[in-house]
Amino acid sequence: MKQGPDKVLECPNCKTAMIIFTLASGNTVDAQTWTDGKMIAPMLPQLPAITKCSTCTHFFWLCEATVLGEIPLWGPELDKIPENWKKAERVRDLTEIEYLEAISKGAALNRDQEIYLRLGAWWAGNDPQRDMNHTPEASGFTRTQEGIHNLKRFSGLLDENNPRERLFKAEAMRELGLFSEALNLLVFNFPKEYENNVNLIRDLAEKKDFLLREIIE
Pairing between β-strand 89-90 and β-strand 17-25 as defined by DSSP bridges: parallel
Residue 23, classed as helix, strand or coil, is strand
Choice from 3, 13, 184, 199 touching Zn ion (CB under 5 A): 13
Shortest distance, position 133 Cβ to Zn ion, whole Å: 36
Is residue 47 a contact point for Zn ion (CB under 5 A)?
Answer: no
Choice from 7, 8, 9, 11 touching Zn ion (CB under 5 A): 11
Shortest distance, position 19 Cβ to Zn ion, whole Å: 14
Judge whether 165 and 116 are in contact, CB under 8 Å: no
Judge whether 147 and 96 are in contact, CB under 8 Å: yes
Distance between CA atoms of residues 186 and 173, nearest Å? 11
Given the complex with Zn ion, which of 18 and 212 has the nearer CB atom? 18
Given the complex with Zn ion, which of 29 and 56 has the nearer CB atom? 56
Judge whether 158 and 169 are in contact, CB under 8 Å: yes
Binding residues for Zn ion, how many (CB under 5 A)?
A: 8
Looking at the DSSP assignment, which residues form a beta bridge with residue 8?
A: 19, 69
Is residue 14 a contact point for Zn ion (CB under 5 A)?
Answer: yes
Distance between CA atoms of residues 43 and 203, nearest Å? 31
Shortest distance, position 17 Cβ to Zn ion, whole Å: 10
Could you tell me which stretch among 5-13, 30-38, 41-49, 194-202 binds Zn ion (CB under 5 A)? 5-13
Q: Can you list the alpha helix ranges (DSSP code H) found in 12-109?
A: 83-86, 96-104
Q: Which helix (H) or strand (E) holds 209?
A: none
Is residue 12 a contact point for Zn ion (CB under 5 A)?
Answer: no
Shortest distance, position 166 Cβ to Zn ion, whole Å: 38
Residues 53-72, interacting with Zn ion (CB under 5 A):
53, 55-56, 58
Which residues make up the interface to Zn ion (CB under 5 A)? 11, 13-14, 16, 53, 55-56, 58
